[in-house]
Structure 1
């Protein structure tokens, strides 16, 4: 069995008109993603172990289905997970964990909010150009590694504003999580709700259910981290 092939079927899920073929690699990657978010909400460092597996497997999936811009984003998430693992385990001279859960100061919240708004606006306007550039860059890098990637036919984005929101906010949320800012969970709730709506509109109901679960985990993350930040 070729575990890493998206054509190695685990189960056919009878959702929607044609159902959904769930491969082994997607199933394991999804489970690791759920475990990552769950353990992160509990402030457990092991979340980064599952996070690295999750994004690595999804990078393989995106390579096979030629979503090269998404593949490049997974490389960022791998690096962010590695940094987060280091940041969460780094200790002070008194052997205490250096990072503590806290809220963003008002000034930083304003800066991140404005930067995110500008980035979303720019990406919404130029999303096809940006993703096209990412795709070409990734194809070039993959070919340099001898993987013989081909540039796919790039279609216009169906939901440019919402895709821009998910992309920008995902990057910001990941950065905030590595620094243990409570606001990261609020962003994940927003991202997951957008994902549920888009996947439902596209008829990908299995993914919609997954993101509904992620939404509840993120809401619980807001609750748990807000309590620790207030204590």
Structure 2
């Protein structure tokens, strides 16, 4: 049992206790945020803000710049999403789940490419191209940037980006030594699949004609 524990959590022996506690708190609130997103519950944003703020601090300490920028971006988009989700489209209805428009497809591509170039520039400036994870980190950052933007706009396609990014992040974070965060992304993947079908059900309900 001890070898198994050491395999998954051995890297934590060298971490400050404060960092371990903070990562646990961030993982819990991150899980809650994704769960509330699946439920179309506005609590997705306050819980997400707490999680992202903690991760920004931790990732800065661990010098994982791409991951840190993802969480800083999440924080900003959480404020934007909070506004969009609480905005009423008429006297009684809030912003519904919808599909991406052609314009949003174009914007998604632009955000993806712009993020790749930006993260590449950051890694280049700080001379952080010292591991293959930096290249994967650049791609996942771009994927998550698009996913978060689409989630804030309540587009069902956001879940596809989350699923792809989460699947990549599970082994990536485990390799980086962040086992708890790796497990978090594994749970995120599962919830994202259920979230997609839950939002699809909501979308189909919104598209049904009103029977008179």
Instruction: Give the TM-score of the pair, scaled to structure 2.
Output: 0.79
Aligned pair count reads 196
Match for 1:115 among 100, 110, 113? 110
Q: Deviations over 1:91-124 (max 9, x none)?
A: 2451421x1101113x24642454366447646x
Q: 2 CA distance for matches of 1:130 and 1:78?
A: 19
1:87 Cα shift?
1.1
Q: Deviations over 1:179-207 (max 9, x none)?
A: 10001011000000001132344565443
Partner of 2:144: 170
When you count helix as a share of all residues, which structure comes out higher?
2
Which runs of 5 or more structure 1 residues have no equivalent in the other structure? 1-12, 136-152
Q: 1 CA distance for matches of 2:108 and 2:79?
A: 25
Q: Is the 8 A contact 1:35 1:50 kept in 2?
A: yes
Partner of 2:25: 28
Match for 2:35 among 38, 42, 51? 38
Q: Is the 8 A contact 2:174 2:182 kept in 1?
A: yes
1:18–1:225: structure 2 CA closer, same or farther, 3 Å change rule?
closer
Q: Is the 8 A contact 1:192 1:215 kept in 2?
A: yes
Match for 1:181 among 155, 164, 167? 155
1:173–1:160: structure 2 CA closer, same or farther, 3 Å change rule?
same
Q: 2 CA distance for matches of 1:132 and 1:197?
A: 24
1:16 Cα shift?
1.2
After TM superposition, the structure 1 stretch with the greater mean CA deviation from structure 2, 188-197 or 206-215, is 206-215
Q: 2 CA distance for matches of 1:67 and 1:119?
A: 19
After TM superposition, the structure 1 stretch with the greater mean CA deviation from structure 2, 72-81 or 179-188, is 72-81
Match for 1:224 among 187, 191, 198? 198
RMSD of Structure 2 on Structure 1 (CA) = 2.8
Equivalent positions of 1:118-133 (< 5 A) are: 118-119=113-114, 122=117, 127=120, 129-133=121-125
1:44 Cα shift?
0.1
Q: 2 CA distance for matches of 1:62 and 1:160?
A: 14
1:26–1:49: structure 2 CA closer, same or farther, 3 Å change rule?
same
Matched, 1:61 2:58: yes
Equivalent positions of 1:143-162 (< 5 A) are: 154-162=128-136
Runs of at least 4 residues off by over 6 Å: none
1:15–1:227: structure 2 CA closer, same or farther, 3 Å change rule?
farther
1:163 Cα shift?
1.8
1:29–1:229: structure 2 CA closer, same or farther, 3 Å change rule?
same
Which runs of 5 or more structure 2 residues have no equivalent in the other structure? 13-18, 206-212
